[in-house]
Structure 1
Amino acid sequence: MLLGKLLEKIEYTVVKGTLDVEILNLVYDSRKVTDGSVFVCIKGFKTNGHEYAKEVVNKGAKVLIISEEVELEGEEVTLIKVSDTRLALACMSAAYFDYPAEKLKTIGITGTKGKTTTAYMVRSILENSGLKTGLIGTIEVIIGETVIPSANTTPESYQIQEYFAKMVEEGCQCVVMEVSSQGLMLHRVAGFVFDYGIFTNIEPDHIGPDEHKDFEEYMHCKGLLFKNCVVGIANADDSHMEEVLKGHTCKLETYGIEEKADLMAVNINLHSRDGSLGVTYQLKGLLDYEVFVNLPGKFNVYNSLTAIAICRHFGIHEEEIQKALTMVKVKGRVEPVAISSKFSMMIDYAHNAMSLESLLTTLKAYEPKRLVCLFGCGGNRSKLRRYEMGEISSNLADLTVVTSDNPRFEEPEDILNDIITGVKKGKGEYVSIIDRKEAIKYCIENAKEGDVVVLAGKGHEDYQEIKGVKYKMDERDLIRQAVEEIQAEGKTII
């Protein structure tokens, strides 16, 4: 590919050299430079790609994309100056992979909460209706039968375009992806226009030295999606919606429960049936039919309502949407585990005070005989989180089972003691069992009819980190092992 083709959609200045250069590889990591590469100098939080200019030229880079001066004397290399190398990388990546987003229906979901579950619901509905759909998100990337664990909610722009290209090769017609505020701020989703952009909700989060300087910047970055999509779909109930969408350039639709919106959920009812927790509601506005979701809580009303608002644009029939929503299961997001029809057990990723409080409040609304919460806290992290989570669990759950999470370089006993300090401030009962499998086994053995048991903190994670080493540990395996041990001991699970 000629360099000029890669640069066709960006503004640039040729500082040195020529555009008549054949490019063999597009790279932004100096370690991956090979002969014939174009190297994009990204200025990151910890390293600056411009500092590697001489090194990458010696490795064979023929072109450097820069936004500041580099020290190169005498080397045969083309230098292209742009105002923002991250934006350039996104546009060049789209060109490098021949604009794959133009061959897909692209759906981007942004918001503080609900992105992951909504993305899986959308994929479930589209796939169930016969539309092959890729997914890029916090947990994993799904391309046909290929599943790739995720490192970031929204990958770097080059990676996104590579995933899109592979989806096109696999015959995907659509892609649904989670779009983080960081991803928007750093131009990771530049270089193409989303067909649909979705806003779920927003609250103060991701504010700090390496993220956003304040809540206003966080909202602004979320809003960038709605200047880069054709149709915007937003939660009318969120008090910050107008601020987030300020200056939007898309056609806008709304959904909600409380405020008047284009698509609304009314007559919401929580239900518990044979150990399964779910919710039903009636759609009003753009659609009119009853919805049943096999996941608990008001937040899953919002998640499913969002998914329906999106999939309405694909002309999918009510029956197909209903079927998909009864089947959807999101790993580690109030994920039900079928053990007994007499009590409910689920796995959830809630690993901080805010998410644990939201989770337990949601489950408490089902009025279980007892609410049992098993959790631990990560080592080498804030002790305040341990105290807060312990107190919240003790105040909302009838029984707290304190156990180990990722101790990292701390002693598990010390972490549990910190949690118990918080637990003792609440009114609930507690037990302390360091070994997580034994703690799960205790929950199953001692479950009573009508209980709701939630294993919080690990969610989709399939490892436990101890002293710098990640050991395989999946709670689904721990549950299965605990059940097998109980049965081998001749005991009965209610």
Structure 2
Amino acid sequence: MKTSDLCEKIEYRLLQGSMDTEVTDVIYDSRKVTEGTMFVCMVGAVTDGHKYIPDAVEKGAGVIVAEREEACKGVPPEVAVILVESARHALAYLSAAYFDYPAKKLTTIGLTGTKGKTTTTYIIQDVLRQAGRKAGLIGTIATVIGETSIPARNTTPESYEIHKAMAAMVDAGCQYMVMEVSSQGLKFDRTAGIEFDYGIFTNLSEDHIGPTEHPDFADYLACKRRLFRQCRIGIINADDPYAQQILEGSTCEVKTFSAEKKADLMASDIRFLNEDGRLGMHFKASGMMNCDAKIHIPGRFSVYNALATMVVCHELGIPDDAVLAGLEDVQVKGRVEMIPISKKFNVIIDYAHNDVSTRSVLKTLREYDPGRIVAVFGCGGNRSKVRRYDIGEAAGELADLCILTSDNPRFEKVEDINNDIKVGLAKHDAAYIEINDRREAIAYAITHALPGDMIILLGKGHETYVEIEGVKHHFSEHEVVREIAEDIRAGRRKMEHMTL
């Protein structure tokens, strides 16, 4: 592909070489440079791509895209050098051109907000799938292309990876792309140049504020706001206190959803469901859809996630009955996920691994009036001790029994980590036991269950490993729970108080 074609939508200055130079790939990691590639000098918090220009040239880069002219001195004259104001911004447009603008070939749905992005993207994708539509997904857990799932490193990948994934979705026959759009993704231009067909705002609260993320809440909000300047239709949670501020400067048509006020889609008569061990929510919808709706993900926040899904799917022309059927069957891996092994008690897996998310999920379960809440959890090693105190305090206040165990101890001893958790537990004189082996901790909770118990496994969620002394070992709570249930049924383990 010619350099001039790649650069057709960016502002630049050619310092040397020719715009007719053929480019074999667009690269921003100098370690991946090969003969004929275009090397984009990204400037990040850890490193500066300009330092690697000599290395890129030595490996055969045909074009250098840089922000600083002085860094390009000494580049051989046959290598084209292009100067841009922002390499990150340029990379987004260069990548879009390189992959032939795949976003224009898909119906694109972007979600932003503090909470609910991951769950809602999966709900939307699943509802579309159950309605016979093929949708790819980019988010915190994975990038999903057809039947292929690639574990994620960032909530919103770099722009090159986004366009590469979308191009693969087009090739796989996808009609839609559903994507988590993080504040960092917006701030660092990872989604620059994509005009989303739909942008969804879930909610906003203080998060990701610190020296390596956002300097303050105003910056966090301003970055979230950007999505609604690059989407065609904005779908907004009207009940969030920041809804109007999110829309400041927006250029999109707006649709709203609410459980408290007048909106394009409203929820009323909200009820908590416990149907044979399946927890969920029921509500009446009115406005653009008039129906009874049900979702088997517990918690009032699930109503808002369902409403966002209903609005976008209605706008996409999905029949109402298909939307409702999809909502009723949906389950999101590791997000308040029910593992059905008994109708007498619940086993739930959730990714909560800080005090805010731990408190939120335990409060949600309390609303279902359980016999007991049994929380199985630990904390990560080589991380903040304060987080351990806080999680211990939250669990100690809201759980009836805490089972302390391992959770990615890394280079620390599980006993030392759990001693820190106990500092928080002590504030509520909480009942707890310690079982360092996580499999055995889960087995204890299940084999000692009482009727009406809700056993919540906290911290691992969708993860399929445990990290010990720098090595990741396979460990899937989904597999472990089902293996324990099979052991009980086969007589290899015994239920202490009842049968499964």
Corresponding residue number in structure 2 for 1:18: 18
Write the distance in 2 (CA, Å) between the matches of 1:51 and 1:222: 32
In structure 2, the residue matched to 1:435 is: 437
Q: Distance in 1 between matches of 2:129 and 2:278?
A: 24
**TM-aligned CA deviation for residue 260 of structure 1:** 2.5
Q: In the TM superposition, what is the alpha-carbon distance from 1:291 to its structure 2 partner?
A: 0.2
Task: Give the equivalent residue in structure 2 for 1:60.
Answer: 60
Pair 490,240 (structure 1): closer, same or farther in 2 beyond 3 Å:
closer
Paired letter, 2:428? G
Structure 1 Cα separation of the partners of residues 365 and 86 of structure 2? 47
Deviation at 1:253, TM superposition (A): 1.2
Q: Return the match for 1:491 from 487, 490, 494.
A: 494
- Match for residue 399 of structure 2? 397
Bigger shift: residues 105-114 or 480-489: 480-489
The answer to whether the aligner puts 1:94 opposite 2:96 as a matched pair is: yes
- The answer to whether the 8 Å contact 2:314/2:320 transfers is no
* Alpha-carbon separation, structure 1, partners of 2:251 and 2:326: 32
Comparing 71-80 and 461-470, the one that deviates more: 71-80
Q: TM-score, normalised by structure 1?
A: 0.98
**Matched letter for residue 420 of structure 2:** D
Cα distance in 1 for residues equivalent to 2:348 and 2:106: 35
Per the alignment, residue 303 of structure 2 pairs with 301
* Alignment of structure 1 residues 350-365 onto 2, 5 Å: 350-365=352-367
TM-superposed deviation, 1:482: 2.3
Shift, 1:387, TM fit: 1.1
- C-alpha contact 1:114 1:303 (8 A) present in aligned 2: yes
Match status 1:106 vs 2:92: no
Residue number in structure 2 paired with 1:478: 480
Q: Give, in whole Å, the separation in 1 of the partners of 2:164 and 2:75.
A: 34
Distance 1:125 1:475 in 2: 25
| Paired letter, 1:124 | D
User: Match of 1:9?
Assistant: 9
Which residue identity lines up with residue 409 of structure 1 in the other structure?
F
Q: Segments of 4+ in structure 1 off by > 4 A?
A: none
How many corresponding residue pairs?
Answer: 494
CA drift of 1:115 comes to 0.4
How far did residue 147 of structure 1 move?
A: 1.1
What residue in structure 1 maps to residue 74 of structure 2? 73
Question: Partner residue of 1:426?
Answer: 428
Matched ranges for 1:161-180 at <5 A: 161-180=163-182
Q: What is the one-letter code of the residue matched to 1:491?
A: K
Q: Which residue of 1 aligns with 2:31?
A: 31
The residue that corresponds to 2:458 in the other structure is 456
Within 5 Å, which residues of 2 pair with 1:40-439? 40-69=40-69, 70-73=71-74, 75=76, 76-439=78-441
Query: What is the one-letter code of the residue matched to 2:188?
Result: L
Q: Assess, with a 3 A threshold, how the Cα gap between structure 1 residues 216 and 4 changes in structure 2: closer, same or farther.
A: same
Q: CA offset at residue 485 of structure 1?
A: 3.5
| Unpaired stretches in structure 1, ≥5 consecutive residues | none
SS at match of 1:409: coil
Shift in alpha-carbon separation, 1:160–1:417, aligned structure 2, 3 A? same
Q: How far is 1:236 from its partner?
A: 0.7
- Which whole-Å CA distance do the structure 2 matches of 1:16 and 1:109 have between them? 41
SS in 1 for 2:365: helix
- Specify the code of the residue in structure 1 equivalent to 2:48: N
- Give 2:45's aligned amino acid: F
SS at 1:453's partner residue?
strand
Q: Which amino acid aligns with 2:128?
A: L
- How far 1:449 moved relative to its partner? 0.9
Question: C-alpha displacement at 1:74, in angstroms?
Answer: 5.9
For residues 295 and 58 of structure 1, what CA distance do their matches in structure 2 show?
Answer: 54
Mapped partners of 1:97, 1:71: distance in 2: 27
Taking only aligned residues, the RMSD between alpha carbons, in angstroms, comes to 1.2
What runs of 5+ residues in structure 2 fail to find an aligned partner? none
Q: Tell me the CA shift for residue 427 of structure 1.
A: 4.4
TM-score, normalization: structure 2? 0.97
| Structure 2 residue identity aligned to 1:5 | D
Q: Distance in 2 between matches of 1:394 and 1:486?
A: 29
Identity %: 51
Conserved 8 A contact 1:28-1:42: yes
Is 1:66–1:82's contact at 8 Å kept on the other side of the alignment?
Answer: yes
